[in-house]
Amino acid sequence: MDPWSYSAPWGYRLLERVTGGRGFSLRTNRFIVLALTFLCYTSYHASRKPPSIVKAVLYGSVASGNDPTAPRHLLEAGAAFIGNATISAEDAAGWAPFNDPKYGKALLGALDLSFLAAYAASMFIAGHIGDRVDLRYFLTGGMLGSGACVVLMGLAYFFKVHVLAYFIGVQLVGGLLQATGWPSVVSIMANWFGKGKRGLIMGIWNAHTSVGNILGSLLAAYMLQFGWGWSFIVPGAVIMGMGLVIFSFLVVEPQDIGFLPQSGSAVGSLAASQVETPRSEASFGSDLGEEARDYLQRHLTAMADRQRAGGGLVPAHVAAKMAAHHSVRPAPGHGMFGMGSTLVLVEPEKRAGERGAEEELGRLGPRPQGRAASGFFGAWAIPGVAIYAFTLFFSKLVAYTFLYWLPYYINATKVGDRHLTPTEAGQLSILFDVGGVLGGTLAGYLSDVTGASAVVSSAFVWSTIPMLWLYRTFGSASFALNVTLMMVAGFFVNGPYALITTAVSADLGSSLTGNEKVLATVTAIIDGMGSVGAAIGPMVTGYISELPGGFDNVFIMLYGAAACAGLLLTKLVIKESREMLARARGYQAPPAGEPAADLLDHAQVSSLDSFRYLPPGMSPDAREATIDNETGRVLGA
């Protein structure tokens, strides 16, 4: 993609016209991207829920020995919609070949395994491909394709398909296509949000997993009353429709619509010698002369005339020189209202008119060394990738074991003095996800505050072990205690899981100097290893829970997995702890609120919202000052 060209999808261009050509601020664009990617991955997760909801119907009450006239037990998260309907003769008989009393459950397990195995394997490949193609097209294709696979599963109901190979084949293809989602949305979020607050933002954003699970369960359960095929078709149609929305409105990178790449900042892009863009296709560097400094301090942002065809983006101080010779008319609303945007869209004839400005533009243009994406094995070599990948393997093993087995465990275990119904167990298990959302948000916030993601992840992982033990030992004592311990367990189980899959994945990808195209590959590697653990945990649980000791065996496995995750993080924890101590012993920053314009020549980029400054002559271990990019003032150390 030409790093200087204006490139926005047709739906976004339509929105700009609706606003009278004013466009949107950076903050508004961030919100749009946040909302679109949230809804995008929510639809991904919602489309994965139908198989778990319809299992009881496929297996049949006759095969399981249930009374065909008994109230419907179908993971009734949507029981309020279903009412007191009784199981029909068709539901009682089940659906061949899954209604076999001897092998039916194993065949249903094969459906889950085929999907998860294909998803895990494809995750490694999907990230590698995503680094090399337009992520909007990549996401759209994945959503349309995976949605079609979900619909095909439902069509088996209407066309009376009873061939196992059909179901396995559709699940395999669906798993392959579902892998397009996660590395893409994480990469897009990293493009738009600065590194400094990425953990908190992505911790909140990561709630899409739980929201998708809940909505998918409710939707699929409600549609069961019309036939189990509809439980697949409707969620499949939802993700396909969302795919069209993504194609029409999602802007993958800030520079596509005239903003500075968000991996750095405007101040840093002018003060530092080199700043990489999310696709490493353009870097800007310049000495801060008086004219450029004036532009930064006055927060000027401009767009050229609306005639965009064939135009290009130039640094604002270059455009200022061009304005002396050409009539460059700004259009308010485009770009960021602050130091975070120094790019101006200029028509081609105006851009070519000033030779001196063109020469300066050429000097600031794309750097060729960042164009190539790092390979799969090169991404593995990035420090921290392998450790976090295997940490997520064990973290997801724990999290997905709860995801697939917690409702069954609650139903099979007394809470207080009675067994909960399947409906109550399913509804109660949602609280585990609620705790996970809170844990992921806090983990992201602590990661931002401390700058030590490994320390935060390790603290959550090690806290998981005693919390799981407390839940297993005392969870059955009373309903209130069960709810409390379940939420606390979800808080610690999903905390590091959310942090590693979002903020850490993005930060590690961005850390490869000169080549941020590796971001989707890094994300895919880490989540791919996690998906392997997600497939193994529930599968092993089904076997060891039948052994003497029952679910005690399962919890021992979970303790061991959490301990392995904690041990893997030890080296990174020691490294980050030393860095934190070194900063604590360093120099004191200037008082907050003081102007920082005279410090810019020595600034180094750390995020969009702020950058770090170490005065000349200070020890490398000294404490740095934090400069706000919007106000140009010292925030503190």
- The Cβ of residue 218 has, within 10 Å, a number of other Cβ atoms equal to 18
Lowest mean pLDDT among 165-174, 301-310, 323-332, 404-413: 301-310
Query: Which CATH code fits 10-252?
Result: 1.20.1250.20
* pLDDT recorded at residue 626: 56
* Residues 6 or more apart whose Cβ sits within 8 Å of residue 153: 50, 51, 167, 170, 171, 174, 232, 236
Find residue 418's DSSP bridge partners. Answer: 415
* pLDDT recorded at residue 265: 32
Residue 123 CA: distances (Å) to CA of 140, 178, 561: 16, 9, 22
* pLDDT recorded at residue 446: 85
* pLDDT recorded at residue 495: 78
pLDDT at residue 355 above 50?
Answer: no
Identify the band that residue 266 occupies on the pLDDT scale cut at 50, 70 and 90.
very low
Q: Determine the Cα–Cα distance for residues 623 and 97; give it in Å rounded to an integer.
A: 66
Identify the band that residue 422 occupies on the pLDDT scale cut at 50, 70 and 90.
low
* pLDDT recorded at residue 150: 97
pLDDT at residue 296 above 60?
Answer: no
* pLDDT recorded at residue 518: 66
Identify the band that residue 546 occupies on the pLDDT scale cut at 50, 70 and 90.
confident
Lowest mean pLDDT among 134-138, 427-431, 469-473: 427-431
Identify the band that residue 630 occupies on the pLDDT scale cut at 50, 70 and 90.
very low
Mean pLDDT value across the chain: 69
Which carries the bigger pLDDT value, residue 51 or residue 46? 46
Spans of all domains in the chain: 10-252, 258-368, 372-584, 587-636
Average pLDDT over residues 598-622: 44
Which carries the bigger pLDDT value, residue 508 or residue 71? 508
pLDDT at residue 245 above 50?
Answer: yes
Burial of residue 233 (CB within 10 Å: 0-12, 13-18, 19+) is buried
Lowest mean pLDDT among 101-110, 310-319, 398-407: 310-319
The segment with the largest mean pLDDT, out of 167-176, 209-218, 369-378, 520-529, is 167-176
* Residues 6 or more apart whose Cβ sits within 8 Å of residue 367: 274, 280, 282, 283, 514
Length of the chain: 637
Average pLDDT over residues 562-582: 87
pLDDT at residue 566 above 80?
Answer: yes
Which carries the bigger pLDDT value, residue 499 or residue 189? 189
pLDDT at residue 238 above 90?
Answer: yes
pLDDT at residue 144 above 80?
Answer: yes
* pLDDT recorded at residue 36: 96
Q: In terms of DSSP bridges, do strands 625-628 and 634-636 run parallel, antiparallel, or are they unpaired?
A: antiparallel
Average pLDDT over residues 98-109: 78
Average pLDDT over residues 371-398: 77
pLDDT at residue 476 above 80?
Answer: yes
Same fold: 10-252 with 372-584: yes
Lowest mean pLDDT among 62-71, 112-121, 328-337, 456-465: 328-337
* pLDDT recorded at residue 189: 84
Give buried/exposed letters for 482-520 (b at 16+ CB in 10 A, else e): bbbbbbbbbbbbbbbbbbbbbbbbbbbbbbbeebbbbbb
pLDDT at residue 242 above 80?
Answer: yes
Residue 20 CA: distances (Å) to CA of 13, 15, 327, 407, 546: 11, 9, 22, 52, 66
Cα angle value 492/200/398 (rounded, 5°): 25
Token representation of residue 74: 């179908």
pLDDT at residue 387 above 90?
Answer: no
Candidate CATH numbers 3.40.228.10, 1.20.1250.20, 3.10.20.440, 1.10.3720.10; the one for domain 372-584: 1.20.1250.20
pLDDT at residue 571 above 50?
Answer: yes
Which carries the bigger pLDDT value, residue 630 or residue 569? 569
The segment with the largest mean pLDDT, out of 28-32, 110-114, 385-389, is 28-32
Lowest mean pLDDT among 264-273, 420-429, 545-554: 264-273
* pLDDT recorded at residue 336: 26
Q: Determine the Cα–Cα distance for residues 188 and 506; give it in Å rounded to an integer.
A: 10
pLDDT at residue 45 above 70?
Answer: yes
Lowest mean pLDDT among 142-151, 205-214, 341-350, 460-469: 341-350
Identify the band that residue 44 occupies on the pLDDT scale cut at 50, 70 and 90.
very high
Strands of the sheet containing 610-613, edge to edge, are 603-605, 610-613, 625-628, 634-636
pLDDT at residue 137 above 90?
Answer: yes
